[in-house]
Structure 1
Amino acid sequence: MKHSEQVTFGGSGLDRAAHLRGDIPALASLMQREDARTLVFWRGKILVVGEGATPMRLPLDHAALKDAEQPPIFLGLEEGGAPVFSHELTAWDGAGEAPDQGFHDLSEQRHPACWGDERFVELRSLLTSLTPRDAELAATARALFEWHRSHRFCSRCGHGSEPFLAGWQRVCPDCGAPHFPRTDPVVIMLVTHGNSCLMGRSPGWPEGMYSCLAGFVEPGETLEAAVRREVLEETDVRVGAVRYLASQPWPFPASLMIGCHGEATNTEITVDPAEIEDARWVSREELADAQAGDDPTLRPARPGSIAHFLLRNWLADRLD
């Protein structure tokens, strides 16, 4: 797609300056710059400010950072060479355990060292309001923090590993094995047949919510094969031609959503209840009504997701 990078988390041209990650003197110098800033996270949530919930960039001497138990992650250089980092406040209890409700979590937490209306919010609640730069920085930082949290031990010998290369690697001090951040490829497909597209829903979703089918790519499998396999497994619909459309980093916790267009060769649906709860064909007219809020029985994918991006562009006939 010609405008594929307009999807949320689609990238902003950030200079990630990978050559500086192992240069300790250079990193120390960057951290001393007056224009150095950091994005702050707590239990996957990001610190924001203002009515627009703009991600807050704190100076590196801010009092809240005393609750960061690990060195910051170096995210890169912005315009003018300004360095940007990210801290996670792992030592702060948040004044009580926050409910683990994923993107349904509307609770907000305020750190005692922050003033005004600075608060921590669920990143998924900001999908439609983030600037491309804030989106890239936030997605990168959140994915890396989640990886560090779930990969604290060496997969070769079981010894505790340690952060390395400014947060972009972990190294085992016992056997020396290096470990790198993982990204799990997921195909998400806009499957069409004539004037209709195939949509499904998973158990536990809000009532009436339907989205594009999706699934993880298996080892030794092409993207095209993954699209055909997942659709067949979930709905018994066979897919012929498959083409790539767009991708979206999805740091919840560590996926790369690979958007594809597949052309169905049959329309009969047989749902596998172990995979999804329901599936249906939705015409362009029905989807347009749902997007406008005129169909209470059909709630399309949430704005900001690649599924919403693909469906919206299919409606507008802009998949090229």
Structure 2
Amino acid sequence: MRIAETVTFGGSGLDRAAEVRDHAAHLATEPDAQIILLWRGKPLLAGGALVRVGPLHPVLKDATADKVLLGRDGDSLAFAADLSQWQPDNLDDQALNTFLDPTEQRHPAFPDDHVFKELRGVMTMLSPRDAELAATARGIFNWHRSHRFCAACGVQSCFAMGGWQRNCEACDAHHFPRTDPVVIMLITQGNAVLVGRSHGWPQGMYSLLAGFVEPGETLEAAVRREVFEESGITVGEVSYLASQPWPFPSSLMFGCAGKATSRDITIDPQEIEDARWVTREEMADVFAGQHPDILPARKGAIAHFLLENWLADRLD
């Protein structure tokens, strides 16, 4: 698929500067270092772009000491700082836990047009470079929050290598960021594509079927297993289309195409709420916002990317 790397969060060509990660703590204090800021995984934005600050900016007093080295951004090294310990005024914890957090937070060190926003809601507005930086930072910080203790001996481990490693000083074990492989499937039969919806999704939201790859399993086998488990549809030929880092919290989505060899749907209600075949003409209405009961997949998600290019006949 020639346009595969145009998917959101991919294709910016970021040089991750892995060779200097062991010096990252010192490099983060250099005057030309540029630091992006996240609060509970939400990047700080102004004018539709990531805000970058220098290492002496006063906002960093509210950040954790450890900075993640993201890579080279132009002539500077880019880092990320986590401000999750800062407590904004009038915090609405209930809204923060919704499917798509609509709230915005403003830090007193910045003008009112500098806001922390949910990455899902702004991902299509960002440049490819800003999107990759924000997704990388969110994924790494989430891993540090959920993997603070050594899996070998249980002692709290330490931030290392610019955030790309945790070391246990008790047993000398090394731990590395986790990425979970997920297949997301464009399953077609003739002129129709298979879509489904999970329990608790917003009304009218349908997407492509997806599921985690299991140990010892190929992508092709995972596609066939997940589709059959969720919908009862059998799949023959499977091919790879595109991938997308998906930091909600730590997945790598493998977009695959599959040819269905059966038609009758039998859903597993423990897995999904509904599944249906949608013709190309119906999907065109969905994307135009004219379908009576299906909303288009969210812009920026690989499901939207694959369906849009299926409609345009660009899955080559």
Give the TM-score of the pair, scaled to structure 1.
0.95
**1:94 is matched with which residue?**
88
**1:23 is matched with which residue?**
23
Structure-2 separation of matches of 1:260 and 1:128: 22
Structure-1 separation of matches of 2:65 and 2:31: 20
Provide Cα deviations, 1:14-73, integer angstroms capped at 9, x if missing partner.
11110000135xx52463133x211100111111113xx322111221111111123110
**2:237 is matched with which residue?**
241
Are 2:28 and 2:55, in contact at CA under 8 Å, matched by a contact in 1? no
Are 1:75 and 1:137, in contact at CA under 8 Å, matched by a contact in 2? yes
Identify which of 247, 254, 257 aligns with 1:258: 254
DSSP 3-state at the match of 1:21: helix
Are 1:127 and 1:305, in contact at CA under 8 Å, matched by a contact in 2? no
Give how far 1:264 is off.
Answer: 0.0
Q: Which 10-residue stretch deviates more, 109-118 or 245-254? A: 109-118
DSSP 3-state at the match of 1:31: coil
| Pair 234,5 (structure 1): closer, same or farther in 2 beyond 3 Å | same
Identify which of 193, 196, 220 aligns with 2:192: 196
Identify which of 281, 293, 315 aligns with 1:297: 293
What is the identity, as a one-letter code, of the residue corresponding to 2:13? Answer: G
What is the identity, as a one-letter code, of the residue corresponding to 2:145? Answer: R
Are 1:103 and 1:122, in contact at CA under 8 Å, matched by a contact in 2? no
**1:32 is matched with which residue?**
30
Structure-2 separation of matches of 1:173 and 1:112: 38
DSSP 3-state at the match of 1:310: helix
| Pair 32,181 (structure 1): closer, same or farther in 2 beyond 3 Å | same
Structure-2 separation of matches of 1:134 and 1:279: 35
Identify which of 281, 284, 287 aligns with 1:285: 281
Are 2:289 and 2:296, in contact at CA under 8 Å, matched by a contact in 1? no
What is the identity, as a one-letter code, of the residue corresponding to 2:265? Answer: I
What is the identity, as a one-letter code, of the residue corresponding to 2:81? Answer: H
Instruction: For structure 1, list consecutive stretches of 5 or more residues without a partner in the other structure.
Output: none
Query: RMSD in angstroms over aligned alpha carbons?
Result: 1.2
Give the TM-score of the pair, scaled to structure 2.
0.96
What is the identity, as a one-letter code, of the residue corresponding to 1:32? Answer: E
Are 2:233 and 2:263, in contact at CA under 8 Å, matched by a contact in 1? yes
Structure-2 separation of matches of 1:168 and 1:102: 29
Percent identity, aligned pairs only, is 59
Structure-1 separation of matches of 2:99 and 2:242: 23
Are 2:7 and 2:300, in contact at CA under 8 Å, matched by a contact in 1? yes
Are 1:249 and 1:255, in contact at CA under 8 Å, matched by a contact in 2? yes
| Pair 267,286 (structure 1): closer, same or farther in 2 beyond 3 Å | same
How many pairs does the alignment contain?
A: 314
DSSP 3-state at the match of 1:48: strand
Give how far 1:79 is off.
Answer: 2.1
**1:121 is matched with which residue?**
117
Are 2:31 and 2:55, in contact at CA under 8 Å, matched by a contact in 1? no
Alignment of 1:146 onto 2:120: no
Give how far 1:106 is off.
Answer: 0.5
